[in-house]
């Protein structure tokens, strides 16, 4: 384990991951103050909202209102997600930092269940995104492969399948003469284990040695921190994460939506290991408590309860 | 990361770690049925109780009653902890599998706070234990170094300090012509990070290459699984753990007593990685739910909520 990065880049997804699944409505003003507080901790990328069907995801019906209300901190990128061209068009009407991105599932069954599209249809949708981006001179800055480690419908996913999906995206990008600078590998439903992380990262690296890789790790089965450690040991230095472990509440039946890896737990571990995060851990812990106050139930983060070590040093 | 063990040995500490800190009394019968259920999962070592001052730890006042009531499963060892000779004497009056063991803290300040004894007095206490064991022909089967990675009173603990403490214990054992077959390194208050685990394991290994090492990892700051992964990558194959993460309740103010690494989460990760545990994961998950029913509040285990992957395969 000697390929540790010197610093990591975190993409904070708590406001989007967390607030979109809460059963009770969260006030727009609460979302905004949480996003602003996160941006004050040193986090450079904060995902604010998702532009999705408000009938399917009522918790994100105020996405535009949130996006408009944020007082922006210079140097911070406020990002958003969207599932299709319609969502992207909505996102572009806001002041958020929207860039072109592609998405695909390693598991075809998951894709059909999640978006109603099989792989061929998903690739067609990505073509529409590419047309749209090219017409506006928007570069494609990232792609994500969901269910890259396993899926409740298809079981374990072979690393070769992930490579195949990335090849499909790369072939599409080549048609548009666009490069892919950044690829995220997502453990969407909590199947990843450290050897699996090593296998998928290794397979993708072997094929595209210069492609920057990021990990999106859900903690459904308690392995997120160990999976992140394996990623770190291989030099992976981009991680999605979620303040307080927002995005899954193990205490309210959100079993299928367990939270992303907890940002402040990951920051704690990295900083203790000498891997810089650029984040003020104590300020981030205060955000985690704010998140718990806002959602009104316990969240799974650990260091928010154990506390940082700064008071002992 | 190539030194993975083929199988690991787990020492289940949930009944002792968990029930001793619960604010409300737990019925003796509930403790017994939980211990018996754990022993039915394939766990070979289950720590049932601690023999400590009932005025200080009222949750363990029924230790003798629990020990007497357990219907023993052949092949399972039912263990106990004790802090001093008086506790050891009590333990030996029960049918539990009591063996000689030594204990010391790396942090002298923690030792004084926890037991009222400094290092010299602790060593004197260990001498009494050695006298006692020798007189009864009981071998010393293990030793533990507490606060081996850090301490709220003294901060980070240098690996050399851990080596010094083990040398002190080894010197004492040499006087009695007794070997030390097994050493546990405890992250008692949640200071360990993966590099720290590697440093301490490495320092002890360098000095005593043939000594079997175990890790006792608290998840105070969310790093227990990552710390275990680092231990596994170094070939460590003995772990203390706690069903459902019993031993700390992050939701009831037990901040200083955060739980041990969660047994079923560790079992899940190891089995997925091809490291055998000998444990039936689904049976263990059922125990975790039983534990939550018994204590009456949420416990921090993850796979008990996410579920095993057996139903998807």
3-class state of residue A276 by DSSP: strand
Q: Are residues A175 and A132 in the same domain?
A: yes
Q: Looking at the domain assignment, is residue A143 inside a domain?
A: yes
Q: Would you call B226 and A221 a contact, using CB atoms and an 8 Å cutoff?
A: no
| Surface of B (230-249) touching A: CB under 8 A | 230, 233
The distance of Cα A182 from the centroid of its chain, to the nearest Å, equals 13
* Interior angle at CA A10, CA A248 and CA A296, nearest 5: 30
Q: Are residues A282 and A298 in the same domain?
A: yes
Per-residue confidence band for B248, with pLDDT thresholds at 50, 70 and 90 = low
Task: Write down the mean pLDDT value for chain B.
Answer: 94
Q: Looking at the domain assignment, is residue A94 inside a domain?
A: no
How confident is the model at residue A2, as a pLDDT?
Answer: 66
Q: Would you call A306 and B251 a contact, using CB atoms and an 8 Å cutoff?
A: no
Interface test with B, best of A223, A251, A289, A297 (most B CBs within 10 A): A223
Q: Looking at the domain assignment, is residue B4 inside a domain?
A: no
Q: Looking at the domain assignment, is residue A253 inside a domain?
A: yes
Domain boundary pick from A239, A268, A290 = A239
C-alpha to C-alpha distance for B48 and B28, rounded to whole angstroms: 11
Looking at the predicted structure, is the pLDDT value of residue B284 above 50? yes
Looking at the predicted structure, is the pLDDT value of residue B255 above 80? no
Task: Write out the catalytic residue numbers of A.
Answer: 249
Question: Which residues from B are below 8 Å from A191, CB to CB?
Answer: 309
Looking at the predicted structure, is the pLDDT value of residue B256 above 60? no
C-alpha to C-alpha distance for A194 and B217, rounded to whole angstroms: 19
Beta bridge partners of A217: A187
Domain boundary pick from A206, A222, A239 = A239
Closest chain B C-alpha to A92 CA, distance in angstroms: 36
Q: Are residues A234 and A134 in the same domain?
A: yes
Q: Looking at the domain assignment, is residue B61 inside a domain?
A: yes
Q: Looking at the domain assignment, is residue A6 inside a domain?
A: no
Task: State pLDDT tens for residues B174-223.
Answer: 999 999 999 999 999 899 999 999 999 999 999 999 999 999 999 999 99
Q: What is the mean pLDDT of residues B72-82?
A: 97
How confident is the model at residue B115, as a pLDDT?
Answer: 86
Q: Looking at the domain assignment, is residue A92 inside a domain?
A: no
* Interior angle at CA A60, CA A55 and CA A64, nearest 5: 110
How confident is the model at residue A22, as a pLDDT?
Answer: 86
Provide the domain count of chain B: 1
How confident is the model at residue A253, as a pLDDT?
Answer: 42
Q: Would you call A302 and B193 a contact, using CB atoms and an 8 Å cutoff?
A: no
Task: State pLDDT tens for residues B80-138.
Answer: 999 889 999 999 999 999 999 999 999 999 999 988 999 999 999 999 999 999 999 99
Check residue A152 and report its DSSP letter.
T
CA atoms within 13 A on the CB side of B75: 8
How confident is the model at residue B83, as a pLDDT?
Answer: 86
Angle between helices B119-136 and B108-115 (to 10 degrees): 70
Tokens for A116, please give them. Answer: 């109603």
Question: Which residues from B are below 8 Å from A110, CB to CB?
Answer: none
Element counts in chain B: helices (H) and strands (E): 12, 10
C-alpha to C-alpha distance for A72 and A38, rounded to whole angstroms: 11
Of B193, B250, B298, Cβ closest to residue A302:
B250
CATH number reported for the structural domain that contains residue B32 in this entry: 3.20.20.70
Domain boundary pick from A224, A239, A254 = A239
Q: What is the mean pLDDT of residues B235-259?
A: 75
Tens-level pLDDT at each residue, chain A (313 residues): 568 999 999 999 999 988 988 888 999 999 999 999 999 999 999 999 999 999 989 999 999 999 999 999 999 999 999 988 999 999 999 999 999 999 999 999 999 998 899 999 999 999 999 999 999 999 999 999 999 999 999 999 999 999 999 999 999 999 999 999 999 999 998 999 999 999 999 999 999 999 999 999 999 999 999 999 999 999 999 999 999 999 865 444 444 446 899 999 999 999 999 999 999 999 999 999 999 999 998 888 999 999 999 988 8
Task: State the ipTM, two decimals.
Answer: 0.96
- B249 is a catalytic site residue: yes
| Owning domain of residue A60 | 12-83+242-313
Q: Are residues A169 and A73 in the same domain?
A: no
Q: Are residues A47 and A19 in the same domain?
A: yes
Q: Looking at the domain assignment, is residue A89 inside a domain?
A: no
Q: Are residues A32 and A66 in the same domain?
A: yes
């Amino acid at each position: 384990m000697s390929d540790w990065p010197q610093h990591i880049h975190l993409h904070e997804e708590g406001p989007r991951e967390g607030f979109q699944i809460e059963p009770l409505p969260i006030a727009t003003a609460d979302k905004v103050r949480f996003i602003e507080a996160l941006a004050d901790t040193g986090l450079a990328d904060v995902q604010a909202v998702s532009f999705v069907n408000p009938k399917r995801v009522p918790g994100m019906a105020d996405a535009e209102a949130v996006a408009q209300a944020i007082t922006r901190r210079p140097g911070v990128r406020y990002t958003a997600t969207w599932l299709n061209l319609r969502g992207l068009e909505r996102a572009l009407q806001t002041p958020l930092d929207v860039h072109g991105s592609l998405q695909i599932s390693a598991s075809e069954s998951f894709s059909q269940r999640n978006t109603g599209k099989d792989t061929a249809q998903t690739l067609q949708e990505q073509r529409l995104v590419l047309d749209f981006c090219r017409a506006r001179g928007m570069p494609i800055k990232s792609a994500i492969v969901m269910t890259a480690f396993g899926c409740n419908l298809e079981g374990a996913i072979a690393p070769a399948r992930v490579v195949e999906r990335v090849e499909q995206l790369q072939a599409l990008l080549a048609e548009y003469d666009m490069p892919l600078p950044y690829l995220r590998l997502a453990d969407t439903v909590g199947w990843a284990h450290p050897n699996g992380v090593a296998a998928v990262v290794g397979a993708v690296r072997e094929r595209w040695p210069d492609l920057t890789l990021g990990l999106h790790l859900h903690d459904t089965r308690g392995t997120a921190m160990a999976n992140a450690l394996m990623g770190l040991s291989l030099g992976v230095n981009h991680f999605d994460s979620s303040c307080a472990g927002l995005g899954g509440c193990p205490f309210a039946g959100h079993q299928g939506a367990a939270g992303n890896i907890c940002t402040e737990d990951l920051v704690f571990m990295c900083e203790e290991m000498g891997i810089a995060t650029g984040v003020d851990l104590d300020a981030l812990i205060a955000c985690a408590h704010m998140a718990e106050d806002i959602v009104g139930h316990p969240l799974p983060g650990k260091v928010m309860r154990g506390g940082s070590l700064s008071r002992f040093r």
